Amino acid sequence: MKQVRLVIRHDKVEAKQIATDITEALSHNDVTTEGSNPEAVIAIGGDGTVLEAASIAMKLNVPVCGVNVGGVGYLAEFSQAEVADLADAVANGTYSTRAHSTLFVSTGEYSASAINDVVVEKVVSQRIIKVTVQINGKPLSTYRTDGVLVASPLGSTAYNLSAGGPIVDPSLDAFILTPIAPHSLLSRAIVLAPDAVVTLSVTRDRPARINVDGRELCTVSPDDVVTIRRGDSKVDFLTLNRHPFPAAVRDSFGLDHA
């Protein structure tokens, strides 16, 4: 019998009901949500829940998908009305997968993979930090800023978008460097080649931290070197090819259309 793992946002009543619905739909197709060898991971919630599920899926080397529960769900491709179709596709193997690039960050003894973004940011809200940026070993700029963000294309619609960075088609193999509220003439984001290596160091004697997909990895001291590059692994998203990139952006962000 096929197995699927569910990752549920338990503080949402709707998520619990959808979990019940999809469990029943899968069961009718001889697919169980129990077991240690799932063929896919299904997140029920918002984009944060999808990120949690995607981390699990990467470790298991299986695809992930999300059923959106309220709010903006750019990563959660499926609506509540598509639960039955999703269950049928999983049971019959009639889905496609899309591989998306990840990021890898390291500093000292700490390292982590990121699906959306890596952020080096200030700890004390009233004080900016000074971050020196190099690309492939060559100096780019030193920013007086709230932080510097490096995002994958998939993560371009998360913190990167709020910080003024561009929306990037997630099928592209690239990543984005975006300063956060910089005190600088160079305030625009930069789209980098997939083999670029970004090196950051905090040069002002103020505390800073590294956040990976919204979770703190560690704090960094002045002159600690933080290296960010494309991850060795990709994350596979399960899809029925119903929501192409323009439609996903339009629907997620409520854009007007004819």
Domain boundaries, the chain: 2-95+240-253, 102-232
Write out the catalytic residue numbers. 47
pTM: 0.89
Cα–Cα distance, 87 to 24 (Å, whole number): 9
Is 102-232 in the same CATH topology as 2-95+240-253? no
Q: In CATH, what number does 102-232 get?
A: 2.60.200.30
132-164 pLDDT, tens digit per residue, is 999 999 999 999 999 999 999 999 989 999 999
Q: Which helix (H) or strand (E) holds 23?
A: helix 13-28
Q: Write down the pLDDT at residue 258.
A: 56
Beta carbons of 14 and 69 less than 8 angstroms apart: yes
The pLDDT tens digits of the residues spanning 186-238 come to 778 999 999 999 999 998 778 899 999 999 999 999 889 999 999 999 999 99
What gap in Å lies between CA 184 and CA 17, rounded to an integer? 49
Q: At what angle do helices 83-92 and 13-28 cross, to 10 degrees?
A: 40
Paired tokens of 168: 């990037």
DSSP alpha helix (H) spans, 61-138: 83-92
CATH architecture of 2-95+240-253: 3-Layer(aba) Sandwich (3.40)
Distances in Å between the Cα of 136 and the Cα atoms of 12, 79, 92, 171 are: 44, 41, 45, 23
Tens of pLDDT along 160-184? 999 999 999 988 899 999 999 998 7
